[in-house]
Structure 1
Amino acid sequence: MLIPHPLLGLRDAQEFTHLGDASLLNRPDCMAEAPAEAFYDYVYLRENPAGVHRELWFHEQGDRSWLVVTRSTVTHEILGAELARDVALRMQKGGK
């Protein structure tokens, strides 16, 4: 499986470590109301979709960057990848 790294081009998936659901970028605010419940959901509750899904991948054997990879969990087809930093900054500004 080849991952289209936004800076380095196509890279073999064996260079990466898969972390899981990219919703981990949506860390709850510990100062918000009911933070214990929010963190419980954040840590323990995960979707396991069949189909297109966004995941966090770490380029461990490369430039050590974090990527958000969009792929099909049914076919394992990689549909795209972007730097997790860019995704997080976009989320802060209210985007997706």
Structure 2
Amino acid sequence: MSYLVAFNWGWIVGAAALGFATGWVSPISRVRSLSTMTMRISFAVALALVAVSLSRTLPGRPGYWLDLGLVMFGVYLAGGAVGSWLRYVLLLRPGRPRGEEG
């Protein structure tokens, strides 16, 4: 894992920045959420990919790309969560009236 991060840190930071930007902008869009069945299938596919990665059944370069893709996807999701949370905290300010500045 340290090899993966040491040689691909630029891509990982880019995934975090893209996730942060997406999380920051996402409350603006009015996109319908996925259906329950689609969410279950997506979760099952992600879980299967993590299981393949942890069991090391995919050797060589394809396994390396799978590991890198999973790390980047996880960092992207974490960046999106941080961006969305910061937008909520900094712009909406819970407990403060909307028109008040200061």
TM-score range, shorter chain: under 0.3
Structure (1 or 2) with the larger CA radius of gyration = 2
Normalised TM-score (structure 1): 0.26
Normalised TM-score (structure 2): 0.25
Highest RCO, 1 vs 2 (Cα 8 Å, sep ≥ 6): 2
Q: Which has the higher helix share?
A: 2
Q: Which has the higher strand share?
A: 1
